[in-house]
Structure 1
């Protein structure tokens, strides 16, 4: 019968063997946001999204300011209004606020759909670039940088992926 400490060491060794085998694999690290930010294709996509989002945000800000002004006006004259007029004015303000909230929610959904429409094809190209690059360079695994607490600088393949991504995105057009 094995001693309890020897049994524990044997169990740890058996568990660690597959992990040690993977340690010999070539692992790369990539920052997908940096790839988008540093490639011309990614910059164009992000600028297109920003232009659409900025326009909608300005519209919503204007609408919010108008509601705030209307609320301030109501607060100023509420003391001299009849109860009936006050109630009608309050109901109108609440209706405007509900519509504003609906408009915000609708804009948020529209922006999400637009983001997906623009970025989804790019992410398919990105995924294919990662797969092709990994096969060519012998990587068994490529991990998103944000998922890691630390990585050695030699493992970062973001610059190479950015070049490959740009070339692949131009071919995909």
Structure 2
């Protein structure tokens, strides 16, 4: 006679056996972020960003050098300069450093906005490539590479997606 716990175990085992038959047969992994960031479009975008923000980047570097010079002058002058001169230098340093921080944050925010625009622009292209691969290769499931614990390297279609993105 079957006990209730044994009966439940048999049902569980039967369920697992039947669910194996229903599992996807052709599963692949994809790193969407890696695909987008390693494409030729991403390289071109980075170059465009670099030239677009080059003057602000140069200004940021100049402000950093200015703040470092003032800081070095303060250190060198300790004990030999009057309190007034030291106070003036500290004010200059705070002003230069504050401007450096403000400009740095502003530049980061602008770059983030531009990166978001790029990703929004690329997403439909990526979706088209992925859908095309699903249809031509007959994939049953595409999982996020970041969400997987383990996947054989041959199951990773990221390079194939990059190649197709680069052809668009």
Q: TM-score range by the shorter chain?
A: 0.7 to 0.9
Report the TM-score when normalising by structure 1.
0.73
SS of structure 1 residue aligned to 2:151: coil
Aligned to 1:46: 46
Q: Quote how far apart the aligned CAs of 1:113 are.
A: 1.1
Does the 8 Å contact 2:63/2:97 carry over to 1? no
Q: Aligned equivalents of 1:136 and 1:103: distance in 2?
A: 49
Report the TM-score when normalising by structure 2.
0.75
**Structure 1 pair 19–63 and aligned structure 2 pair: CA distance change class (3 A):** farther
Which consecutive unaligned segments of at least 5 residues does structure 1 have?
Answer: none
Q: Quote how far apart the aligned CAs of 1:128 are.
A: 2.4
Aligned to 2:76: 76
SS of structure 2 residue aligned to 1:81: coil
**Structure 1 pair 105–137 and aligned structure 2 pair: CA distance change class (3 A):** same
Q: Quote how far apart the aligned CAs of 1:55 are.
A: 6.1
Does the 8 Å contact 1:35/1:159 carry over to 2? no
Does the 8 Å contact 1:35/1:158 carry over to 2? no
Aligned to 1:165: 165
Does the 8 Å contact 2:35/2:161 carry over to 1? no
**Structure 1 pair 9–66 and aligned structure 2 pair: CA distance change class (3 A):** same
1:1-173 equivalent positions in 2, closer than 5 A? 2-4=3-5, 6-7=6-7, 9-10=9-10, 12-13=12-13, 16=16, 20-21=20-21, 23-32=23-32, 33-34=34-35, 36-37=37-38, 39-52=39-52, 56-167=56-167, 169=168
Does the 8 Å contact 1:56/1:107 carry over to 2? yes
Q: Aligned equivalents of 1:53 and 1:18: distance in 2?
A: 58
| Range with greater deviation from structure 2 (134-143 or 10-19) | 10-19
Q: Aligned equivalents of 2:108 and 2:100: distance in 1?
A: 12
| Equivalenced residues, count | 166
Q: If each structure's helix is expressed as a fraction of its own residues, which one has the higher value? A: 1
Q: Quote how far apart the aligned CAs of 1:50 are.
A: 4.6
